Amino acid sequence: MPIKPRPINGRLTNPVGLGCMSLSWAYGNRPSDEDGIHLLQRAIDIGYDHFDTARLYGLGHNETQVGTALQGRRDKVFLASKMGLFASGEKRGADCHPDTIRSELEVSLKLLQTDHIDLYYMHRRDFAVPIEDSVGAMADLVKEGKIGAIGLSEMSAETLRKAAAVHPIAAMQTEYSPWTRQAEIAVLEACRDLGTTFVAFSPVGRGVLAGGVTDPAALEEKDIRRTMPRFMDDNWPRNFALIEQFNAIAAREGVTPAQLSLAWVLSRGDHIVTIPGTGKIAHLEENIARWDWEIPVAVAAEVDALINQQTVAGHRYAGAILPTIDTEDFV
């Protein structure tokens, strides 16, 4: 039977939502604006009801595209966006000061062509501002009806608990797939304890668990995966050997690698939803095509044993980025 809808801030959503980032940034050349908007509209047509965007993605380009695609259909989608990360030339960092949160929201509302955002995240922890101050500012926005709920992204269980003491936190968004397991250290359990939905981004392992990468050297020049240790020459052969075995499991079970990975993530808890991203309609359709398939317990255990923190070579991020991440990490 299909996996049932799961709640975010009390609203039932399909467990596979859409991460919109790749329509604007990160994985090489982005689709044309026309193609991006068409993909977003097609997503709604086939049952996607949770879109995830952010100010950082294309520095407003992504929110603009989403806002255009949602005209006349805003009520069909649970809309999430993020603030707190900025990039201006060579200057990059986090700013979650209360005044910045409010001003950034006003820009996002304008770009998204809406009067409210259902779920508004702090994209990363601003270590210069107490988390309680940032959450307090967001709580004011909830009271004003400009946002429906507060989310955190890539933050620790300790930070989540501090934030939740100020205001309920509806969602925690963190990378999670068979080959990225940091959330299992403490965040998944903390989310369950607090009634916080865990939103798994990159649930198909930056595309490698979707059959999307066989040779990192062939990735486009601007693709951010070129800078990630797991795609480097000294780690890739070991990782690709795991991927080939993973693909064989998917073929045996009659699903695609992406469908296997998504089903595995969703099997890890009924408080988990996923937001795979894509710039291709074929992948968009593939990601929700097998909702009639629930991963058998034995198959989930097989995947768990094959690809995990001990078997994957290399960290998920390069060293320069690590200090900006608040999530727990393996020693």
DSSP type of residue 227? G
Q: Write the pLDDT tens digit of every residue in 244-267.
A: 999 999 999 999 999 999 999 999
Give residue 278's Cα distance to chain centre: 12
How is residue 192 written in tokens? 């369950």
How many Å apart are CA 261 and CA 295, to the nearest integer?
10
How confident is the model at residue 50, as a pLDDT?
A: 98
Of 42, 61, 40, 36, nearest to 51 by C-alpha is 40
Contact 195, 164 (CB under 8 A): no
Q: Determine the pLDDT at residue 57.
A: 95
The per-residue pLDDT for 214 is 94
Q: What positions carry a catalytic annotation?
A: 57
The per-residue pLDDT for 86 is 84
Mean pLDDT of the chain: 95
152 within 8 A of 143, measured Cβ to Cβ: no
Q: How many CA atoms lie within 13 A of 181 on its CB side?
A: 20
pTM: 0.96
Taking 50 as the pLDDT cut, the residues of the chain under it are none
Domains, the chain, with CATH or none: 6-210+268-293 (3.20.20.100)
